[in-house]
Amino acid sequence: MSLASRSLFALVAALAVALSLLATVSPAAAAETIAYTGNFGPGTIIVQTSERRLYLVLDGGRALRYTVGVGRAGRQWSGVSFIDGKYIRPNWSPPADVRRAQPKLPNVIPSGSAANPMGAAAMTLSGSEYAIHGTNAPGSIGGFVSYGCIRMFNQDIADLYSRVRVGTPVVVLR
């Protein structure tokens, strides 16, 4: 084998290793289109905390299904709300519950900081301190992990963000 062939082989092998590592560090995030026969109309976001899934109801008996992180034990909630704000790469001000548990947190954590849990985008929910948002901890998606917010992979929050508007109804079920 020539030196050029060995170099190319080594480069391909290194890329294969890098891609396999990337696949384990960045889980695949993507909405799945499923059949939907529930009672909520198109455009409604439904969060099933027991399933750790968020659904966006579409027309034609379909919905998009995303895997999410939800409130840990004692932090789960249910109810009806609506999106009252949409923000790209938001700063984060820890709510009172978080500040009580972590009193050394600053009042505001800027966008892009490793300590900012909001990720790529956030949509705040009316009547609460909660949001549907991206994350700086993708390994937490699929678990009972938050103080009550709904966490999504950054790619998924970007997708959902582009599909909904302020005023979109949100139903959180246990």
Q: What is the CATH number of the domain that holds 133?
A: 2.40.440.10
CB 64 within 8 A of CB 56: yes
Phi, psi for 30 (deg, rounded to 5): -170, 140
Determine the pLDDT at residue 28: 57
DSSP string for residues in 59-101:
SSSEEEEEE-BEE-TT----EEEEEEEEEES--B---HHHHHH
Determine the pLDDT at residue 126: 96
Quote the domain boundaries for residue 8: 1-28
Determine the pLDDT at residue 27: 53
Identify whether residues 138 and 159 lie together within a single domain: yes
Determine the pLDDT at residue 11: 43
Determine the pLDDT at residue 20: 35
Rounded CA-CA distance 84/168 in Å is 8
Determine the pLDDT at residue 10: 45
Identify whether residues 96 and 11 lie together within a single domain: no
Identify whether residues 101 and 169 lie together within a single domain: yes
Identify whether residues 22 and 40 lie together within a single domain: no
Cα 131 off chain centre by? 10
Q: Is 151 helix (H, G, I), strand (E, B) or coil?
A: strand
Identify whether residues 108 and 50 lie together within a single domain: yes
Which one of 149, 157, 170, 172 is the catalytic residue?
Answer: 149
Identify whether residues 56 and 129 lie together within a single domain: yes
Identify whether residues 6 and 56 lie together within a single domain: no
Identify whether residues 48 and 106 lie together within a single domain: yes
CB 49 within 8 A of CB 173: yes
Question: What is the radius of gyration, based on Cα positions, of the chain?
Answer: 19
Determine the pLDDT at residue 1: 59
Determine the pLDDT at residue 170: 98
Cα 21 off chain centre by? 22
Identify whether residues 16 and 63 lie together within a single domain: no
Question: Is 133 in the active site?
Answer: yes
Determine the pLDDT at residue 22: 36
* Plot region of 129 (φ>0 → left; ψ -120 to 50 → alpha; else → beta): alpha
Determine the pLDDT at residue 18: 35
Which one of 52, 53, 65, 133 is the catalytic residue?
Answer: 133
What total number of domains does the chain contain? 2
In the chain, which stretches have pLDDT less than 70?
Answer: 1-28
